[in-house]
Amino acid sequence: MTASKSDPVRTQALSARLWDAVREGDEYAAADVVLSAVDAGLDAESALLDVIAPAQAKAGTEWAANRISVTQEHTATAINDRVIAALAHHGPDETRRPRRGRVTVACVEGEWHALPARLLAETLRLRGRWVDFLGAHVPVPNLIDHLHRTRPDTLALSSSIPIRLPAAHAAIIASQAAGVPVMAGGAAFGPGGRYADRLGADAWAPDARTAAVRLEEILARPYVPPPAHEPLNDLPHLADQEYTLVTRTTHRLATAVLAALPERLPAMAGYNDRQRRHTAEDLVYVTEFLGAALYLDDAGLFTRFITWTAGILAARGVPAHSLAPALDLLAEQLTDFPRAVALLRDGHTALQAVSAAGW
Amino acid sequence: MDVTGVPSKDRPGQERAAGALWQAAPCPVVVADAGGRVLELNEAAARLFPRAEPGASLGAMMPGWLAEAHRTAAASGAEGEPVWGRVGERSFDALPTRTPDGDTAWWLVEDTDRRQAEIALSRERGRTALLADESYAMLSALTVDRCLEVTARLAAEHLADAVVILPAASRQRLPAVFALRGGTVHRRTVPDDSAEVPGLTEALQGFPPTSSRWIDPGGLPSWAVPEEFDGPVGAVVVTPLPGHGIPEGALILLRRGDESGFSRNDEVFARLFAARAGAALSAARAYAERTEVMTILTREMLPPQLHRVHRVDIAGGYRASVRSELIGGDFYDVHPGEDEGAESLVILGDVCGKGLEAAVTTFKIRNMLRALLPVAGDHYRLLSLLNAALLTTESTRFATLVLASAVRDGDRVRLRLTSAGHPPPLIVRSGGVVEEAPTRGSLIGAMTDVHATTVRVDLGPGETCVLYTDGITEARGGPLGDVMFGEERLKDALSECGGMPAEAVVERVQMLAAEWAGNRDHDDMAVVAISGPHTGSPTAAVRRANDEEIRR
């Protein structure tokens, strides 16, 4: 592959054109933007990472800002996925090209955002790796079964939502025990990949190009798996059982909070069924993030989520401070759990900060 | 131990009262002055240091570590610190005390036995830890390759300087595995000549191991020594890797010439290690063989990858219940029509039951359906024939099915839909209205009579027909716990899917149902979406890409 330096101005313009097509749900126009650029000399890797990836990121930010619906976001993803497929089949047939280093690319159980992983898989393929792409939401047992059957040199594990980190941890430990080193990637692993390190991943990469370099490094040295261990060895605070109990009672907690919420949030009296369902889902989500923050013993994980949620709500005309009663009610349910109570207090403080900022 | 406090006047008749105590002490005691001259030693000390006598220099008579400690103590003017050291084969704690005259008495308390017990204990602990590590690493290694690698690495780390593993001769010629301490594990094919290494033929056949004392390290053939091994081989152990009933191979341990050979203890331990490795290898082999059978069987059973058939968009998604294997009782298939003008047949079905047996029935039904394709123009006839065929098989399982025959007509897709005991297909109109296709029929494989009604449905651009199995609607969970996902929620979700591409619809339905189930396990879930593609003509580049995709 020629490493022709791509022109950022040109790729940005292409990405904007791709986004226009994707937003309109026009698959043909979308594919045309990318394929004709490649025919005109754009490097395939640049098409993936500098044209398609930013367009996909745009879908996420546009959804967060409530400028497109969740349906449009799904459509955009599906179209980008098809464009990637078309790109993969475009150009010379490289199926017979010798490949060095076998990599399994998979999303953590419960992770449905498969496109970043797909972009990585295609990038690694372009760079001559033998790639097995397992897609979204790969249950840990199926993943480990796959590793035992195919014996890849590395597992690239993708996750965008931190609530999947306990599952990621299980996958990392089991993969290493099977003799396969793990490279983690995706927003779930925190700023600078800090959670990847906490969970014992062998490498972390913020983007596909770095991942290709990290992979090179992993392949260059023999792999000696870490000694036998379980999650508790990496995260001794789990012994206090707070994570376990909060996670196991998520639905009970959400039910209790939902029952008490109308007293603190009078606006709820006017909610229709769908709004009530959304509220229940949001409560479960908050509780799941609380669980993840307890798992990693990391307040930042929870406060970033609260700040982000406040932004999402604000974009939909729901004032950020409406989250506060839910946090208070949760804390009242969890008085015997000092770490959880402290996290909820931190969440509350973060909420006040964004409310003060006028959200 | 502190005797300096004993008043000397209580020991009449002795010039130096404390001296009598030293003389009688059961442990060696040596008294020396600040200048390092030995003043006195008791009987025990005289036995320990036969050449020592009063007046001689401490440094000349005693081990260096004691003389050094004495010098340090004298220089500081203090009593000095306890020290530990060896005297010949024995070892002692030397405890200094100050005599009333300002000299230093060294009390030597022997700890040889305790030290040796500690060393033995620590060695045993190390071995127990190694066996625990081995067990864990082996239990996690479900492939033969990985098992061999783990065995070689652990053995090179803990048992010897280098390790060679020869897989049993009865197996197909697998390469030998080599490992050096601190180095990498690698494989190399070796000559089929085990007789050159004493005891190897026997080990490979599962006979008891030959003692390392009977093996001449110099007589080893060069292939049996790793290439990077520096220096001559000093000692060799050959031990079998006993498997479940049949030998799995042999383990050769090598130590360098200048190091101590293998003790009897080492050899016993190596055998213990090898016994576990052999058992793990056997288990890994059995697992690998079964997995291979499973892989070959399931390859045919997995649902196909779908995309676009004769200008009709078709997408499918399948999630097996986590408890079961990758295959289960739900299935779908697409049989493309002969050309663009002919109908393609889409089938989605659900065989009652779970696990491998349901999967086998599913496999049979899919094959029968393939054979019945010539009558696909008449869904009722197809279902009758399938029903009759199923009733003649021994299986008591029955199935529900949906048949969808689809063909592109201008910018529309024309469908014929028939449900056989299955939830009716849902039609997502472009405005977001969700309709239930009014087709009903009896399930297949249970009764001799079949009834079914076929309905015709047209899809405009961006409209979708969704076929699904009850794993979707019967998923239990939701934000508040044990609630069924249900048809209403599915319809509600689909009402937001007007205009979405088929893949996006499938993914959205799968995601919502799986998220609804959350951490609970769910039944098999299958979804197929048939969509009328958006109009607009593919550009040349896209058409070419699509053509290429079809060719591959």
| pLDDT tens-digit readout, A171-188 | 999 999 888 999 999 999
Average pLDDT, chain B: 84
Sort B292 into a burial class: Cβ within 10 Å, 0-12 / 13-18 / 19+.
exposed
Enumerate the H helices of chain A as residue ranges: 8-23, 27-39, 44-46, 53-64, 70-88, 115-126, 140-150, 165-177, 194-198, 208-220, 231-234, 242-248, 250-264, 273-296, 299-315, 324-333, 338-356
Backbone φ, ψ for residue B348 (5° rounding): -130, 135
In terms of pLDDT, which residue wins out, A249 or B21? A249
Of the candidates B136, B500, B546, which has its C-beta nearest A74's C-beta? B500
CB contact under 8 Å between A29 and B133, yes or no, is no
Nearest Cβ partner of A251 from B481, B514, B534?
B481
Q: Which of A75, A141, A281 sits opposite B504 (nearest CB)?
A: A75
**pLDDT band of B18, cuts 50, 70, 90:** low
Range B111-134 average pLDDT: 89
Beta partners for residue B416, in sequence order: B405, B456
A30, A80 contact by CB (below 8 A): yes
pLDDT for res A104: 96
Distance from CA of A260 to the nearest CA of B (A): 14
- Assess A24–B contact: CB distance below 8 Å, yes or no: no
With cut-offs at 50, 70 and 90, classify the pLDDT of residue B171.
low
Name the pLDDT band for B12 (thresholds 50, 70, 90).
very low
Let me know how long chain B is: 552
Q: What is the tens place of the pLDDT at every residue in A125-151?
A: 999 999 999 999 998 888 998 898 888
Position B539 scores a pLDDT of 52
Mean pLDDT of B230-255: 88
Catalogue all structural domains in chain A, each as residue range(s) with its CATH number.
Answer: 1-91 (1.10.1240.10), 99-231 (3.40.50.280), 237-356 (1.10.490)
Residue B294 pLDDT more than 80?
Answer: no
- The residue of chain A with its CA nearest to that of B497 is A71
Q: Which of A276-290, B246-260, B379-393 has the lowest mean pLDDT?
A: B246-260
Confidence of residue B2 (pLDDT cuts 50, 70, 90): very low
Size of interface A-B (CB pairs under 8 A): 139
Q: Which strand (E) or helix (H) includes residue B332?
A: strand B330-335
Q: Would you call A74 and B507 a contact, using CB atoms and an 8 Å cutoff? A: yes
| Residue located via tokens 């004495």 | B70
Per-residue pLDDT band for B437 (boundaries 50, 70, 90) equals: very high
Question: Model-level pTM?
Answer: 0.79
pLDDT at B489: 92
- The residues spanned by each domain of chain B are 8-110, 116-295, 307-551
Of the residues A182, A251, A257, A281, the best mutation for testing chain B's interface (the one with the most B CB atoms within 10 Å of its CB) is: A251
Q: Do residues A75 and A25 make contact, with C-beta atoms less than 8 angstroms apart?
A: yes
Buried b (16+ CB within 10 A) or exposed e, B238-250: bbbbbbeeebbbb
Residue B20, pLDDT score: 65
pLDDT at B117 over 70: yes
Q: Do B142 and A148 touch (CB under 8 A)?
A: yes
3-state secondary structure B45-86: HHHHCCCCCCCCEHHHHCCHHHHHHHHHHHHHCCCCCCEEEE
Which one, of B426, B449, B457, B448, lies nearest residue B348 by Cα? B426
Q: In this structure, are residues A213 and A232 in contact, taking their beta carbons and an 8 Å threshold?
A: no
Nearest to B347 by CA among B371, B325, B323: B371
Q: What is the pLDDT of residue B14?
A: 41
Spacing of C-alpha B335 from chain mean position: 40
Portion of chain B with pLDDT greater than 90, in percent: 36
Edge-to-edge strands of the sheet including B83-87? B38-41, B29-32, B104-110, B90-98, B83-87
Amino acid at B408: R
Angle subtended at Cα B253 by Cα B252 and Cα B255, rounded to the nearest 5 degrees = 145
CATH of B8-110, one of 3.40.1390.10, 1.10.600.10, 3.30.450.20, 3.40.640.10: 3.30.450.20
pLDDT band for position A344 (50/70/90)? very high
Q: How far apart are CA B179 and CA B174, in angstroms?
A: 16
Q: Do domains B8-110 and B307-551 have the same CATH topology?
A: no
Type of residue at B421: G
CATH of B307-551, picked from 3.60.40.10, 3.30.70.890, 3.30.56.10, 3.40.50.460, is: 3.60.40.10
**Mean pLDDT of chain A, nearest integer:** 90
Which CATH architecture best describes the domain B116-295? 2-Layer Sandwich (3.30)
How much is the pLDDT for B182?
83
Looking at the predicted structure, is the pLDDT value of residue A359 above 80? no
pLDDT at B325: 55
Strands A203-205 and A182-185: parallel
Q: Which tokens hold the place of A179?
A: 């003799």
Query: What CA–CA distances, in Å, run from A250 to A292, B179, B246, B315?
Result: 12, 50, 51, 34
